[in-house]
Amino acid sequence: MKYADYLTLPIWQELSDDQKLNLVDDVLLACINSKIKWSNVRVETLILKNQECRTIAITLDGDEFIFIPSITDWELGSSLESSSLEITTLPKAWHCLEGELFSHSPQRLGSTSPMFVAQKSQPAGVKLKGHYHLVRGEYQGDQAFFDLFKGEIKEVLQPDLDFLTSLIWEFPTHYLKPKLFYLEQQVLNPEVYDIYSVEVETYGELLLRLYRQGYQLLSEDAWEAVLGSHFLETVKQRESTGLVSEVSEKAPFELQLNSHFPKFELTDQDYCRKLKIYLGSTNKLSLAFSEWPTYQKLVLEKELAGLNPCLYDYRKAIIIM
């Protein structure tokens, strides 16, 4: 049996946890850029192709990653009609374009290489500086940066409101101060906001920076395989039976669509950006839409001005060739 065969899903499923840990040590030494610092290698349970899979979780440069073995015959895309879905809360800039921009990618079979995929996506065009806890009023991170904009940040997150306004006011999911700072509410801990400095960065510059660090972006097939197919399968189950399977509900470790609001997630093709939309009829499911190339002619932001963190996320990956 060839070494690469052990990294395919059917054989990977047959290995013990200890065998997987030993195997991934070899993969890390042979395939991971020496600049990348890795730690906390462990085995977690992930849902792949609607079944439980024991696989490797690892911390790379401070971010959580999960190992996805090579899989053939992924059922990708969808035959569902967009009009049959309840799509809510598109950004205001897109309302006039709804129905013209997005479409399900076509239904097809795809294959993916073994890869390490970041558990969380990150907003594009910004650099993380720290975290602000609303309840405690505490900041952890680059204190000098926070001190520059402390007053403005607190005005956004804790404004001085009259009684009637306070009854209807909601905390923002995100806020962009152009060229200065960006705030985004954490999904799993909404009392905490991540605080970023704005870094003018185009799509090409993002790819180059990731390449130099030893990372890549996912292809459209890989993105749909690990972030779309499970959700699509759950949608199909719900529509056919009215129920969501137990397996689909109980994944202990999962890749996250890391925002409270719809955003594009970038792929390794500049014209293919996957739109993450939460379905109005559920709280847990999401569905991947492809962005048509014509979007680049219609969008208000120009690419040369840099990627807008309110619109774009990216997800680090390491593809094992």
Q: In this model, does residue 212 exceed pLDDT 80?
A: yes
Q: How far apart are CA 319 and CA 321, in angstroms?
A: 6
Asked if 237 and 100 sit in the same domain, the reply is yes
CA distance to 23, 88, 123, 262, per residue, from 277 (Å)? 36, 8, 16, 5
Based on the structure, what is the number of domains in the chain?
Answer: 3
With respect to residue 119, please indicate whether it lies within any of the assigned structural domains: no
Asked if 230 and 92 sit in the same domain, the reply is yes
- The answer to whether 256 and 119 have CB atoms below 8 angstroms apart is yes
With respect to residue 204, please indicate whether it lies within any of the assigned structural domains: no
Where is average pLDDT lowest: 54-63, 139-148, 243-252, 302-311? 243-252
β 312-314/263-266 pair status: parallel
- The answer to whether 199 and 126 have CB atoms below 8 angstroms apart is yes
Asked if 223 and 307 sit in the same domain, the reply is yes
Q: How far apart are CA 310 and CA 184, in angstroms?
A: 9
Quote the DSSP letter at residue 70.
Answer: B
Tokens describing residue 59: 């911390």
With respect to residue 116, please indicate whether it lies within any of the assigned structural domains: no
Where is average pLDDT lowest: 9-23, 32-46, 167-181, 270-284? 270-284
In which band, very low, low, confident or very high, does the pLDDT at 226 lie, cut at 50, 70 and 90? confident
In which band, very low, low, confident or very high, does the pLDDT at 273 lie, cut at 50, 70 and 90? confident
With respect to residue 190, please indicate whether it lies within any of the assigned structural domains: yes
Residue pLDDT, tens place only, 66-120: 999 998 887 777 665 543 344 444 444 443 334 444 556 777 888 899 999 998 8
With respect to residue 213, please indicate whether it lies within any of the assigned structural domains: no
Q: Which residue has the higher pLDDT, 237 or 174?
A: 174
169, 198, 227 — which closes off a domain? 198
Residue from 109, 101, 112, 37 nearest 268 by CA: 112
In which band, very low, low, confident or very high, does the pLDDT at 59 lie, cut at 50, 70 and 90? very high
CA angle 119, 23, 248 (to 5 degrees): 40
Asked if 20 and 155 sit in the same domain, the reply is no
Asked if 17 and 145 sit in the same domain, the reply is no
Q: In this model, does residue 246 exceed pLDDT 50?
A: no
198, 232, 251 — which closes off a domain? 198
Asked if 80 and 133 sit in the same domain, the reply is no
Residue pLDDT, tens place only, 116-168: 999 888 999 999 999 999 989 999 999 999 999 999 999 999 998 888 888 88
With respect to residue 115, please indicate whether it lies within any of the assigned structural domains: no
Asked if 11 and 77 sit in the same domain, the reply is no
Asked if 46 and 176 sit in the same domain, the reply is no
Q: Which residue has the higher pLDDT, 243 or 67?
A: 67
State the pTM of this model. 0.82
CA distance to 99, 121, 146, 277, 309, per residue, from 128 (Å)? 34, 13, 11, 24, 12
Asked if 140 and 273 sit in the same domain, the reply is no
Asked if 183 and 257 sit in the same domain, the reply is no
Beta bridge partners of 280: none
With respect to residue 253, please indicate whether it lies within any of the assigned structural domains: yes
Q: Which helix (H) or strand (E) holds 20?
A: helix 17-31
Q: Residue 79 is part of which domain span?
A: 72-110+219-315
With respect to residue 212, please indicate whether it lies within any of the assigned structural domains: no
